[in-house]
Amino acid sequence: MPAAIGQDLVALLPRLRRFALVLCRSPSLADDLVQGACERALANAESWTPGTRFDAWMFRILRNHWIDHLRRLKAEGMTEDVTTHRQLMGDPGEGPLLSKLALTEVQRAIEQLPHEQREVLVLVCVEDLAYREAAEVLGVPLGTVMSRLARARKRLVELTVAA
C-alpha cells in the first residue's frame, strides 16, 4: 500500500513543508515535521480511503504530528528562538525588492494572527482546502472555520493597510 500513495506524497511535499513552516516558523523543524508526517503516512497507508482528498489526510497527519511535538516540548521544557533564524536571498532589481517587501509585510501580519486563525487561513487560502476539509483537518465545526477565517481576513486587512 505505501507504493500506492508514494507518488502523491512526493508531489505534496512542497505544500506540506509550507504548512509546516506556518505551524512552527522554523525551516529545520518544518523539514523534521514533514519527514515525521510522511513516515506516519507510509506506516499507516491502509488508513487512507481512496477517493477522498489525500492532501487533507496528510495535512491532518502533519498537524497532529505538530501537536505531539508541542506536547513533547512542553513536557521536556525545551524551546527554540525563532527570531534567530534569518534567511536572506539577494535578487537585483527594484521589482523583486518591492515584491519581497510586500511579502514580508504580509508574512509579518500573518504571524501576528492568533494560531487558530493562521492555521485556517493557510489551509483555506494557500492550500486551497474547502471549508469542510479544513474543519476536518483541524477537528473543529465548519462554522468555527468560517468565523476564524473571517476574523483572520479582517485582521490582515487592518494590519497591512495600517502599515
Are 1 and 70 in a shared domain? yes
CB 12 within 8 A of CB 54: yes
What's phi and psi for 88, nearest 5 deg?
Answer: -110, 135
Sign of the four-CA dihedral 137, 138, 142, 147: negative
What's the CATH code of the domain at 36?
Answer: 1.10.1740.10
Q: Are residues 77 and 46 in the same domain?
A: yes
Range of the domain at 52: 1-81
Domain termination residue (choose one: 22, 51, 81):
81
pLDDT tens column, 26-64? 999 999 999 999 999 999 989 888 888 999 999 999 999
Q: How many structural domains are present in the chain?
A: 2
Domain membership of residue 87 (yes or no) is no
Residues near 54 by beta carbon (within 8 Å), at least 6 away in sequence = 5, 8, 12, 48
* Same domain assignment for residues 3 and 59: yes
Chain segment 70-97, per-residue pLDDT in tens: 998 888 765 556 556 566 455 456 777 7
